[in-house]
Each structure stands twice: as structure tokens, then as C-alpha cells.
């Protein structure tokens, strides 16, 4: 499935390059050089990539209007403005903020993460090591045996949270606060216990886990 992207960038060279790069990745791209008519152009798009410094309306204003009109559309700011203030201002409405110069691979990686996190769930199952994860059906299958793996509510929550942040290391505080919705307390072992049970269900060898990897001193990670 290809997602369609609205890309607003006034610089010709960067615009042409990004346009081609994204098309090469299989996305349908609508490249506009100004923010005028962005609202109509964004119809039917999953994601909008916005530059900040544009002729006429600036990217922040366009982004805010877009988010207000279409809360479901994802917004990725792609800007040469790197100050904390700018990032904070951008992230008030945008879903991600990438600074220029950027590596094209990072751009595509971020777009993928955004699309996945937003629940634009992939029709094809996600294959991780010996597991097949059907995100739409909330189903996890063991490829070795073809059997479905049943998880408890919390276990499934934790696992899908890690999957949404594929390749990203998450600290125990981040996971705890995302799943339980309350502030993490020092020395709380709840998450560790849940992860241990989760591993027993999904890992081939829970003693040396391959799917949910422990990054010592930091947290956990699921690598694609």
C-alpha cells in the first residue's frame, strides 16, 4: 500500500530531490512550492511534509491550520531552523520535526515510523525474527509452528508499543508511562516482570532474548 504525501518546499533543488527520493520509495507525492491551497491539496493525504521558511505563509501557520482542519493528517516538519524554540513550537502541532541537512534514509525511516505509529497499519504482516505480526487483527503468529501466540492485555500493549517504535530504544520510564499512564516510580519492578512473561511467550529462548532486546543501563528495543 502506498501512502500519498503532500510536500511543501520552496527550494527547487531540495524539492526536486526529495520528490524523486520519496517517489522512488513508492509514495505518491504532491509537491507544492507555496503553502497556498495547502488545505485543499492535503485532502486524501496521509502525511504532509512542511518546510518552515516559505514565501507567504510560514510553515508553522500552515501546519497549525492543517492540524485544526484535519487532525488525522500526519505532519512532519522539515526545517533548517534547529533552535529548541522552533522545535518546541513545531512539535506543538506537528508529529515529527526533522532538521536540515538530513540524510534521505532518515527521512524515509521517520515517515515509516510515523505512518506505522499513527495506526496506518500495514496490510501485510510484520515479520520479526520467527514471529508474524498482523497488526490489523491484533494477531501474533509463530512462523515456526504456525500457532497463534496469545498475550494478555498488558503484554500485547507493551509489545505493540515497542513495535510502533521499531528500532528505537525505549527507557523503562517511557514504556511504563505509555502503558500504565502514570508516572514511573523509582525501583518499580512491574515492567520487568511483564517483560519476563512476555519473553516467555514470544522468544525461542527466553534466557537469551532475540526479539525484545535489553540495552543494558538504558531500556529495551525491538529491532526490525
| Nearest residue (CB) to other proteins, 88 versus 147 | 88
71 binds other proteins (CB under 8 A): no
Closest CA to 190 of 180, 178, 203, 181: 180
Stretch that binds other proteins, among 39-47, 143-151, 166-174, 200-208 (CB under 8 A): 166-174
CA distance 209 to 206: 5
Cα–Cα distances in angstroms (integers) from residue 199 to residues 142, 176, 213, in the given order:
13, 17, 10
13 binds other proteins (CB under 8 A): yes
Burial zone of 169 (CB within 10 Å; 0-12 exposed, 13-18 middle, 19+ buried): middle
Stretch that binds other proteins, among 59-67, 84-92, 146-154, 193-201 (CB under 8 A): 84-92
205 binds other proteins (CB under 8 A): no
164 binds other proteins (CB under 8 A): no
Instruction: Tell the smallest beta-carbon distance from residue 138 to other proteins (Å).
Output: 27
| Nearest residue (CB) to other proteins, 20 versus 200 | 20
Stretch that binds other proteins, among 64-72, 94-102, 112-120, 141-149 (CB under 8 A): 94-102
Binding to other proteins in span 119-158, by CB under 8 A: none
Stretch that binds other proteins, among 81-89, 110-118, 133-141, 201-209 (CB under 8 A): 81-89
Beta bridge partner(s), residue 6: 30, 48
The residues, ordered by sequence, that sit 6+ positions from 5 with a Cβ below 8 Å of its Cβ are 22, 27, 28, 29, 30, 45, 46, 47, 48, 49, 111
Q: Within the chain, where are the H helices?
A: 12-24, 38-41, 59-69, 84-91, 104-117, 153-164, 172-180, 190-202
Binder among 44, 55, 119, 167 for other proteins (CB under 8 A):
167
Closest CA to 82 of 90, 74, 94: 90
| Residues in touch with other proteins (CB under 8 A) | 11, 13-14, 17-18, 21, 52-53, 80-86, 88, 99-104, 167-171, 173-174, 186-187, 215-219
Amino acid at each position: 500500500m502506498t501512502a500519498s504525501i503532500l510536500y511543501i518546499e520552496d527550494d527547487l533543488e531540495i524539492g526536486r530531490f526529495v520528490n524523486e527520493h520519496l517517489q522512488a520509495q513508492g509514495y505518491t507525492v504532491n509537491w507544492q512550492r507555496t503553502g497556498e491551497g495547502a488545505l485543499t491539496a492535503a485532502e486524501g493525504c496521509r502525511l504532509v511534509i512542511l518546510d518552515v521558511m516559505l514565501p507567504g505563509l510560514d510553515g508553522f501557520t500552515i501546519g497549525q491550520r492543517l492540524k485544526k482542519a484535519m487532525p488525522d493528517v500526519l505532519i512532519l516538519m522539515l526545517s533548517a531552523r534547529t533552535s529548541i524554540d522552533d522545535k518546541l513550537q513545531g512539535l506543538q502541532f506537528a508529529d515529527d520535526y526533522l532538521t536540515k541537512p538530513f540524510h534521505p534514509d532518515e527521512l524515509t525511516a521517520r515517515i515509516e515510523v510515523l505512518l506505522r505509529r499513527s495506526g496506518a497499519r500495514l496490510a501485510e504482516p510484520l515479520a520479526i525474527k520467527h514471529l508474524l505480526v498482523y497488526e490489523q487483527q491484533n494477531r501474533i503468529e509463530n512462523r515456526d509452528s504456525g500457532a497463534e501466540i496469545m498475550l494478555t492485555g498488558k503484554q500485547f500493549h507493551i509489545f505493540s508499543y515497542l513495535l510502533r517504535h521499531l528500532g528505537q530504544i525505549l527507557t523503562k520510564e517511557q514504556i511504563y508511562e505509555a502503558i500504565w499512564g502514570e508516572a514511573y516510580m523509582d525501583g518499580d519492578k512491574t515492567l520487568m516482570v511483564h517483560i519476563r512473561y512476555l519473553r516467555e511467550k514470544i522468544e525461542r529462548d527466553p534466557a537469551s532474548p532475540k526479539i525484545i532486546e535489553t540495552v543494558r543501563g538504558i531500556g529495551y528495543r525491538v529491532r526490525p
